[in-house]
Amino acid sequence: MFEAFFKWFFTVRGWKLGDNLPPGMKKCVIIVAPHTSSWDFVYGAGAKLLLPLDAIYLAKKELFKWPLKNMFLKLGGVPVDRSKNTGLTEAMIDYIKTHETARVVFPPEGTRRRVTRWRKGFYYAALGAGVPIAMAYIDFKEKKAGIGPSFMPSGDLKKDFEIIRNFYRNITACVPEKFALPEE
C-alpha cells in the first residue's frame, strides 16, 4: 500500500531515486540529512520503501502517537526519548553486533532547526560496532533521494567529519537557511 502511494507521489512530484547501499552491506549506520522540514520524512520514507532499504530509523518519541504511531512503526521507526540520556549509543552498538542484518538510520541534526553541532551518537555507534557510515540524502534542488558513499570511521572525529561535510556540501535542503554543515 505505502509503496504504491510513494511510487505515485515521486512520479507526480518529479522526484528520482538515487543509489541504494552496495550489495552485501548487511550492517551499517546510515545518516540522513538535511533535516529542515517535515517533508524530509515524506521523501525519506518514500525512498526507504522504493529503493528498497531494510533498516530501522530513530525518531523522537512524540511522533509515535495516534493517528501516526502505527505508520511510523510499520516503516521501521524506533521511538527515542531525547529528554534524557538513555544509553542509546550503547544500545545501538549492541543491536548492530547481535543481528545478522542491522542497518540503523540516524538523523544527526536531531531537529529541523538550524544546528551547527550534529549529534555524534551515530559516529560512536558505528565506531563501536565496527561498521561503515553510509550518507543518505534528500536533495530538494535535484529532486532526488538516495544513499551516497560510505566510509569506515577511523576514530579521528575531525578527519571523518570532514568527509561528511564534503559530501553534504552540495546537497540542497527543503529550507536551505535551516541547514548547516556540522562542526567537529
Residue 72 located in a structural domain: yes
147-179 confidence digits (pLDDT tens): 999 999 999 999 999 999 999 999 999 999 999
Q: What's the whole-model pTM score? A: 0.91
Phi, psi (degrees; rounded to nearest 5) at 41: -65, -40
pLDDT digits (tens, 9 = 90+) for 21-58: 999 999 999 999 999 999 999 999 999 999 999 999 87
Farthest CA pair distance, the chain: 43
* Nearest-angstrom CA–CA distance, 116 and 20: 27
Q: Is residue 56 part of a domain?
A: yes
Yes or no: say if 93 and 130 are a contact pair by the CB < 8 Å rule. Answer: no
Q: How many structural domains does the chain have?
A: 1
Mean pLDDT of the chain: 92
pLDDT digit string, tens, across residues 9-22: 999 999 999 999 99
* Residue 173 forms part of a structural domain: yes
Confirm whether 48 is domain-assigned: yes
What span, in angstroms and rounded, lies between the C-alpha atoms of 63 and 101? Answer: 26
| Residue 28 in grid coordinates | 551499517
The answer to the question of residue 101 being in a domain is yes
- 3-class DSSP string for the chain: CHHHHHHHHHHHHCCEECCCCCCCCCEEEEEEECCCCCHHHHHHHHHHHHCCCCCEEEEEHHHCCCCCHHHHHHCCEEEECCCCCCCHHHHHHHHHHHCCCEEEEECCCCCCCCCCCCCCHHHHHHHHHCCCEEEEEEECCCCEEEEEEEECCCCCHHHHHHHHHHHHCCCCCCCHHHCCCCCC
Give the separation between CA 157 and CA 11, rounded to whole angstroms.
39
The verdict on residue 183 lying in a domain is no
> pLDDT > 70: what percent of the chain?
98
> Domain limits at 7?
2-178
User: Is the residue at 107 inside a domain?
Assistant: yes
Q: Which residue type does 178 have?
A: K
Q: Is residue 162 part of a domain?
A: yes
- Strand pairing category for 144-151 and 77-80: unpaired
